[in-house]
Structure 1
């Protein structure tokens, strides 16, 4: 007889909450989208990130992430690509900070109907894509999925079915945590919209993203 799930799910939920709260590249990208364009942009980035989380979980269920964990070439290829993505995001943030200095924020360059100097971001699809790419290009997420999720598969249960269930729960927990982050950051947009604050935040997020990219590139497992 398969063992009941409640205790397993409770343990998994606690571990997944702690993991979701650990800051990483996705946190920076989601917070930046929320600061630039508000809650809808932040939530679009969150949905992109959770699509990546779910994809990694489903890949683990299919056994694909085991190949990533076992193959040094596959891991290194994705690691370098992920590092390049993070560095590019960081460079864009630093360039945005320079543009805020070079172009006065009260010259009327803002879009019609927006307050002078108000943060402007891209489309919701662009925010979603950034969240998805950030997560999908992180090989540690794949290795994590194949090493973390199977620990919580109850004895007697179908492993693929249990991994799919855990993957969905993992994505939902992540979604709940980041929704709170988006709400808090977007609530502070009025303060964050100040030109000096925006430049500082652009610089900070740029440096952090580049640092995370360099760290990922230097990772040797």
Structure 2
């Protein structure tokens, strides 16, 4: 099927997801930092975790589980607290790296965890983010205008899954290239300091904000 033949609501949903996914955010910044600091392998494992976390909420939205979860405010509050604390922990790690005048030892550097831990770290960034639930709910709703078939929702989730895979893995590959790593080596403290501020702001905002839909 050609792009021109695709229903307009599918193209709208995919476009909205692509713009939101490719925009700078905690997950993308974490992938970039890991890629430039630790290299391609750790960044790809981290990106894989982010992708799986995103796919989980996509499938939850497809089968109506996210709408059910959204109805329970206590569950959203718990996710909000976990997500906020996790972002603050990432901010602390970046701040410690920025404060040090020397690059951390390989075993202590950000992105130096085992592949399994990198994967879990990426998944946690999405699984503990209550906003991801509502983003996926809105994306799926775009695919179900009046008269749309239920299969359209499955198509939009599948399309978004492919787009997310390309975006997150693309960031890992792009920023693990030698030129990007050389720039990071020169500006490491500035970059880690910026990450600390961004993660800290995002964590505090998540902790202090009302749960989406509340």
Q: TM-score, normalised by structure 2?
A: 0.83
Task: Give 1:156 deviation, angstroms.
Answer: 4.9
Task: Give 1:119 deviation, angstroms.
Answer: 8.0
The alpha-carbon distance between structure 1 residues 157 and 119, as it changes in their structure 2 partners (threshold 3 A), is closer
Q: Which structure's CA Rg is the greater one?
A: 1
Matches within 5 A, 1:38-77: 38-77=39-78
Give 3-state SS (helix, strand or coil) of 1:199's partner.
helix
Q: Does 1:130 align with 2:152?
A: no
Match of 1:144 in 2: 135
> What's the CA shift string for 1:52-98, capped at 9, x where partnerless?
11100111122221123222222111111110111011111212333
Which stretches of structure 1, 4 residues or longer, exceed 3 Å deviation after superposition?
161-165
For 2:74 and 2:120, the matched residues in 1 are separated by 26
For 1:122 and 1:157, the matched residues in 2 are separated by 44
Matches within 5 A, 1:1-221: 6-7=6-7, 8-98=9-99, 100-101=100-101, 104=102, 121-153=112-144, 155-158=147-150, 161-187=151-177, 188-194=180-186, 197-220=187-210, 221=212
The alpha-carbon distance between structure 1 residues 10 and 120, as it changes in their structure 2 partners (threshold 3 A), is closer
Task: For structure 2, list consecutive stretches of 5 or more residues without a partner in the other structure.
Answer: none
Task: For structure 1, list consecutive stretches of 5 or more residues without a partner in the other structure.
Answer: 112-117
For 1:119 and 1:152, the matched residues in 2 are separated by 39
